Amino acid sequence: MHIVFAASEGLPYSKTGGLADVLGALPRALAAAGHQVSVYVPRYRQTKLNDPQTVVRSITVPFDDRYRFCSVVTDGTHAGVRFYFVEYPPYFDRDALYGTSAGDYPDNAERFALFSRAVLESSKVLGVPHVFHCHDWQSALIPVLLRTQYAEDPAFRDVANVFTIHNIGYQGLFAPDTLPLLTLPWDLFTIAKMEFFGQVNFLKGAIVYSDFVTTVSRKYSQEIQTTEFGFGLEGVLRDRSSTVSGILNGVDYEEWSPEADKLIAAHYSAEDLTGKSKCKQDLLTAFGIADADPRLPVIGIVSRFAAQKGFDLIAQVMDRLAREDMIVVALGSGDRRYEEMFLRLNKQFPHKIAVKIAYDNALAHKIEAGSDMFMMPSRYEPCGLNQIYSLKYGTVPIVRATGGLDDTIEPWDARTGKGTGFKFTEYSGESLLLTIKEALRAFRDQSSWQLLMRNGMSKNFSWTNSAKEYIRVYERARQSRAGSAS
């Protein structure tokens, strides 16, 4: 099967979060299973290409004021996957992918509309796939265009579309006059299509027009059909529930495993854990607390500082947590409020709470390897990758039972010796604190703690199985298309 992926970020070329990890790994797993896979992403300033070749010189994209002309370059084929980059420097050659601390770029609708049209137009030159697999609101116009403006285009008649929601908290909401600006018809502005409380909602368009909708864990696929988690789109999803499913993300163990990781101080494995203490010392040094007592448990955090990730709970409990025998090591950036909170806590408890406000992949690996526990008290979490990485590194996750966190972490039971981490359900600081304390108590019994570590390390969340599930969804999407076309 020929599958074209379209998304706003993908490793190894661009990344702000887990979407990039998925785009870096799932296409490769599909290619390894014998499929033809291409990936389209924008060419940003941070995109480093080894051998750029222009493959489509000029694509005309209409806007209401004038045409814009973009091109497509490739960087060759890696691990069986061909990457294409939509090039339009006025839109993509910028400091950041989506916006700055001042907010989203005001022309994001135009930027990602141009990207989406460019994918469709260039696929006519470079190869129309059997299935377009689009991700999040930035490529959500692709299914909309396929079933509206391009509906009569013979090139796309039999093409199926699968859409994956990685985070329903980001929908691509824009003013109504965005439709004429993008030369989209006003009849999309109805409650059954893209209208959403007086605005245009790109993600809603994708849910309405895709053949199948997936999300990145089974639990999240159910949660987003409820008022609590649906961000207003629960009704639209429920209407389409027979085409909505959850497929858990895999992880790339070539990048994220203590046996192979090139960015950590020492390798280790479930059979021989000795290297982990070296990694711990290296982590403490990297965070400027080399003189801390290495017997104290280290709780790691690597995260976008966003409300989604549960930082309000951390704010509630940090002062009390700092009285316990432990160290917190946090890496992240984002919401100013939480950056300041961590900096303040670091000033107040310099030997217990160490912080780096940064985006730093090498440090993220050091935290996974050098910490004893990993904290993710998310308010909601579509899948979450860090807790899955943590399992492999023998770094015990402390998570809230939501979305992918609930699907991937099994509660530790010291009596049976079963389980991989610590979970709480109620979204409150008290529950988080109680659960951390439970983990700290368990840590004191090092022999059972090692059993707990090894339980996690033996789990396998590689992409092989999830890739098979995607293939099944692609096949169903193609069948339903064939059915509706005839």
Can you give the binding site for ligand ADP, defined by CB under 6 A? 17-18, 21, 302-304, 331-333, 359-361, 364, 383-386
Q: Which does 302 bind (CB under 5 to 8 A by kind): ligand ADP, ligand GLC, none?
A: ligand ADP
| C-alpha span between 484 and 180 (Å, rounded) | 29
The size of the interface with ligand GLC (CB under 6 A), counted in residues, is 14
> What is the smallest separation between the CB atom of 207 and ligand ADP, expressed in angstroms?
20
Place of tokens 């092989």: 464
Q: Which does 427 bind (CB under 5 to 8 A by kind): ligand GLC, ligand ADP, none?
A: none
Residue 120 or 364 having the CB closest to ligand ADP: 364
Residue 252 or 372 having the CB closest to ligand ADP: 252
CA atoms within 13 A on the CB side of 485: 17
Residue 142 or 367 having the CB closest to ligand ADP: 367
Triad 84, 365, 391: Cα angle to 5°: 100
306: left (phi over 0), alpha (psi -120 to 50) or beta: beta
Residues 6+ positions from 414 with CB-CB distance below 8 Å: 442, 445, 448
> What is the smallest separation between the CB atom of 52 and ligand GLC, expressed in angstroms?
27
> What is the smallest separation between the CB atom of 403 and ligand ADP, expressed in angstroms?
10
Binding segment (CB under 6 A) for ligand GLC, from list 15-23, 234-242, 434-442, 453-461: 15-23
> What is the smallest separation between the CB atom of 304 and ligand GLC, expressed in angstroms?
8
Residue 400, SS3 per DSSP: strand
| C-alpha span between 299 and 308 (Å, rounded) | 19
Per CB under 6 A, contacts with ligand GLC among 327-386 are: 381-385
Q: Minimal CB distance to ligand ADP: which residue?
A: 18
Cα-based torsion angle of the residue sequence 46, 51, 57, 59 in order, rounded to the nearest 10 degrees: -40
- Alpha-carbon distance values, 13 to 19, 83, 108, 283, 364 (Å): 12, 9, 20, 27, 18
Q: Which does 145 bind (CB under 5 to 8 A by kind): ligand GLC, ligand ADP, none?
A: none
Residue 209 or 470 having the CB closest to ligand ADP: 470
> What is the smallest separation between the CB atom of 122 and ligand GLC, expressed in angstroms?
25
From the CB of residue 435, how many other CB atoms can be counted at a distance below 10 Å?
A: 21
CA atoms within 13 A on the CB side of 172: 27
- Alpha-carbon distance values, 3 to 83, 129, 134, 154 (Å): 12, 5, 10, 18
Residue 178 or 217 having the CB closest to ligand GLC: 217
β strands within 136-218, DSSP E: 160-165, 173-174, 195-196, 199-201, 212-215
Residues 6+ positions from 42 with CB-CB distance below 8 Å: 8, 14, 85, 86, 88, 91, 92, 111, 115
> What is the smallest separation between the CB atom of 108 and ligand ADP, expressed in angstroms?
18
Binding segment (CB under 6 A) for ligand GLC, from list 18-26, 76-84, 285-293, 355-363: 18-26
> What is the smallest separation between the CB atom of 465 and ligand ADP, expressed in angstroms?
18
> What is the smallest separation between the CB atom of 332 and ligand ADP, expressed in angstroms?
4
Strand-pair category, 396-400 with 353-357:
unpaired
Q: Which does 216 bind (CB under 5 to 8 A by kind): ligand GLC, ligand ADP, none?
A: ligand GLC
Residues 6+ positions from 51 with CB-CB distance below 8 Å: 75, 76
Residue 233 or 354 having the CB closest to ligand GLC: 233
Q: Which does 477 bind (CB under 5 to 8 A by kind): ligand GLC, ligand ADP, none?
A: none
Residue 122 or 371 having the CB closest to ligand ADP: 371
Q: Which does 173 bind (CB under 5 to 8 A by kind): ligand ADP, ligand GLC, none?
A: none
Residue 175 or 362 having the CB closest to ligand ADP: 362
Q: Which of 18, 250, 377, 429 binds ligand GLC (CB under 6 A)?
A: 18
Q: Contact between 408 and ligand GLC (CB under 6 A)?
A: no
x/- letters, 182..221, toward ligand GLC (CB under 6 A)? ----------------------------------x-----
Residues 6+ positions from 185 with CB-CB distance below 8 Å: 148, 149, 179
Per CB under 6 A, contacts with ligand GLC among 133-192 are: 166-167
Burial environment of residue 51 by CB neighbours within 10 A (0 to 12, 13 to 18, 19 or more): exposed
Strand-pair category, 36-42 with 2-6:
parallel
Contact, 28 vs 76, CB < 8 A?
no
Per-residue tokens: 325? 């025998």
Per CB under 6 A, contacts with ligand GLC among 447-476 are: none
> Interface with ligand GLC by CB under 6 A: which residues?
17-19, 22, 166-167, 216, 249, 381-385, 404
